[in-house]
């Protein structure tokens, strides 16, 4: 395995774990919605007798098929691994810490910190042409075929999730979720642009 490829898979592993940690300890405890399958899982949690982490795993298994149908082989494999790491890590945390105490007791600060960490994890995954699965796959597909910024593509797919979740959960959750979504959206594009400018000689190419 080439050194570059090995480094990319190390990035996928670490970013997937960071994504899971951030979601489980900063987002799930307050039932926040930052879009994506994590947001869908929190919404469905209101109607299904399963923990959000378990619902997330089930959704991602179904959506992963899209990566193999519409993305290139290399990107699809990386997306599969990124999604697998993220969902297994979240599922493991769900088992080890079924009712975690929030790392930060304030819902708004927790949402902001969680969104910053998730944007860092997502940007790292996207940079090596991977993702955590779910609606991130949709963003990769849009980016591949239209060249739209990944953050903007995610924003369009996540707004509806946040709106529905906010209606179900009340003002505080909705406000914290919208704040977190905006931070995640613009944070992803900013981090990718920063890394490309300062640490990369060329922009990563689509597979």
Q: 175-207: per-residue pLDDT in tens? A: 888 888 889 888 888 888 888 887 665 444 443
CA 107, chain centre distance (Å): 19
For the chain, what is the mean pLDDT? 80
204 belongs to a structural domain? no
Check residues 141 and 120 and name the one with the higher pLDDT.
Answer: 120
Does a structural domain hold residue 49? Answer: yes
Residue 207 lies in a domain: no
The pTM of the full predicted model, rounded to 2 decimals, is 0.76
205 in a domain, yes or no? no
Residue 83 placed within a domain: yes
Judging by beta carbons within 10 Å of its beta carbon (0-12, 13-18, 19+), is residue 146 exposed, middle or buried? Answer: exposed
Q: Is residue 20 part of a domain?
A: yes
% residues pLDDT > 90 (the chain): 20
The answer to whether position 32 is within a domain reads yes
What is the C-alpha to C-alpha distance for residues 73 and 66, in angstroms, rounded to an integer?
Answer: 12
Q: What is the mean pLDDT of residues 34-47?
A: 72
CA 76 to chain centre: 16
pLDDT tens digits along 156-181: 767 777 777 767 777 788 888 888 88
- pLDDT in the model for residue 204: 47
Secondary structure of residue 146 in the 3-state scheme: helix
Q: Where are the beta strands (DSSP E) in 48-142?
A: none
Cβ density class 28-39: b for 16+ within 10 Å, e for less: bbbbbbbbbbbb
* Range with lowest mean pLDDT among 67-76, 83-92, 148-157: 148-157
Dist. CA 32–CA 185, nearest whole Å = 15
Q: Residue 92: give the domain boundaries.
A: 3-198
Residue 61 lies in a domain: yes
As for how many domains the chain has, the answer is: 1
């Amino acid at each position: 395995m080439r050194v570059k490829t090995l480094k990319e898979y190390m990035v996928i592993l670490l970013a997937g774990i960071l994504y899971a940690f951030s979601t489980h300890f900063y987002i799930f405890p307050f039932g926040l919605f930052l879009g994506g399958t994590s947001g869908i899982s929190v919404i469905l949690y209101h109607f299904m007798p399963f923990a959000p982490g378990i619902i997330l795993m089930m959704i991602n298994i179904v959506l992963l098929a899209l990566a193999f149908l519409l993305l290139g082989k290399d990107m699809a494999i990386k997306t599969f691994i990124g999604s697998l790491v993220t969902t297994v890590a979240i599922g493991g945390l769900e088992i080890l810490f079924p009712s975690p105490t929030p790392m930060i007791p304030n819902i708004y600060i927790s949402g902001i910190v969680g969104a910053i960490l998730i944007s860092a994890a997502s940007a790292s995954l996207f940079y090596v042409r991977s993702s955590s699965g779910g609606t991130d796959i949709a963003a990769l597909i849009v980016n591949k075929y239209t060249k739209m910024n990944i953050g903007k593509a995610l924003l369009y797919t996540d707004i509806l999730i946040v709106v529905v979740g906010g209606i179900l959960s009340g003002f505080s959750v909705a406000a914290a979720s919208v704040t977190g979504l905006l931070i995640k959206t613009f944070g992803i594009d900013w981090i990718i642009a920063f890394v490309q400018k300062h640490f990369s000689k060329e922009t990563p190419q689509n597979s």
